[in-house]
């Protein structure tokens, strides 16, 4: 059985529920969005009891903001890459380093703080979702943050968080148009990570903002920058 990937659209970001034998929730949105996430699960007929793990693409406020509330409600572990664990422990997104000028403006609108939560599980490259009946592994794709990860399925689908962005204004327009996210802590690493995910065979890329992207178009967009990586 091929597990479904259901998008749950939230105020700023999109969370995803992966439905295999068990369900894995990828990201939890911003603070105060737990009800919205739970409604999203119900809309896809995923009983909350089926959720086995809260997996984070990274520790930013719009992806881990409702983790503390959802962990209390669902009673399941929260997992994050070790390099972003500090952001979750502190409830602080850390430096929002703008990639281009307009991001400086946007940074004012994004509150970096969120309810702190001690991660239960620190994951790294190669962590498998096999135990949940989901043929997918974690690929470490740092750059946006040091602990950014992607979930790569055997069939080439990938959930990549903020590794890239689809379209403009957070994906509101031209969502299938590949582009850079507004923020990156290390842009050289970011480009390496985009290349890594594409080279590993990603075909359809689901994102925290906009998307999904088709890998061919993403390669066209980013390959000219790979030389600089």
Site of interaction with Zn ion (CB under 5 A)? 13, 60, 62, 162, 208
Helix (H) or strand (E) holding 187: helix 187-199
Written as six digits, the tokens of 95 are 């430096």
Residues ≥6 apart with Cβ < 8 Å to 77: 53, 54, 71, 120, 121
Nearest Cα to 138, choosing from 89, 180, 79?
79
Cβ-contact 207, 160 below 8 angstroms: yes
Q: How far is the CB of 154 from Zn ion (least distance, A)?
A: 26
Angle of the 215-226 helix axis to the 187-199 helix axis, nearest 10? 140
Q: How far is the CB of 9 from Zn ion (least distance, A)?
A: 13
Nearer Cβ to Zn ion, position 11 or 43? Answer: 11
Q: How far is the CB of 137 from Zn ion (least distance, A)?
A: 21
Nearer Cβ to Zn ion, position 178 or 208? Answer: 208
Nearer Cβ to Zn ion, position 13 or 193? Answer: 13
Q: How far is the CB of 1 from Zn ion (least distance, A)?
A: 30
Nearer Cβ to Zn ion, position 60 or 140? Answer: 60
């Amino acid at each position: 059985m091929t597990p479904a990937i259901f998008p749950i659209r939230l105020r700023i970001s999109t969370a995803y529920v992966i439905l295999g034998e068990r369900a894995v929730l990828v990201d939890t949105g911003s603070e105060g969005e737990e009800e919205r996430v739970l409604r999203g699960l119900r809309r896809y007929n995923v009983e909350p009891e089926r959720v086995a793990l809260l997996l984070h693409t990274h520790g930013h406020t719009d992806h881990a903001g409702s983790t503390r509330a959802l962990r209390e409600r669902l009673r399941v572990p929260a997992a994050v890459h070790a390099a972003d664990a500090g952001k979750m422990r502190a409830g602080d997104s850390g430096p929002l380093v703008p990639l281009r000028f307009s991001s400086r403006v946007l940074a004012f609108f994004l509150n970096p703080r969120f309810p702190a939560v001690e991660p239960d599980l620190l994951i790294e490259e190669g962590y498998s979702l096999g135990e949940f009946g989901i043929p997918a592994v974690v690929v470490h794709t740092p750059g946006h943050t040091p602990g950014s990860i992607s979930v790569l399925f055997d069939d080439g689908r990938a959930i990549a968080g903020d590794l890239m962005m689809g379209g403009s204004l957070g994906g509101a327009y031209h969502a299938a148009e590949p582009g850079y996210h507004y923020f990156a802590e290390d842009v050289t690493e970011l480009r390496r990570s985009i290349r890594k995910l594409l080279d590993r065979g990603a075909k359809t890329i689901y994102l925290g903002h906009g998307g999904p992207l088709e890998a061919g178009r993403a390669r066209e967009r980013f390959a000219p920058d790979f030389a600089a990586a």
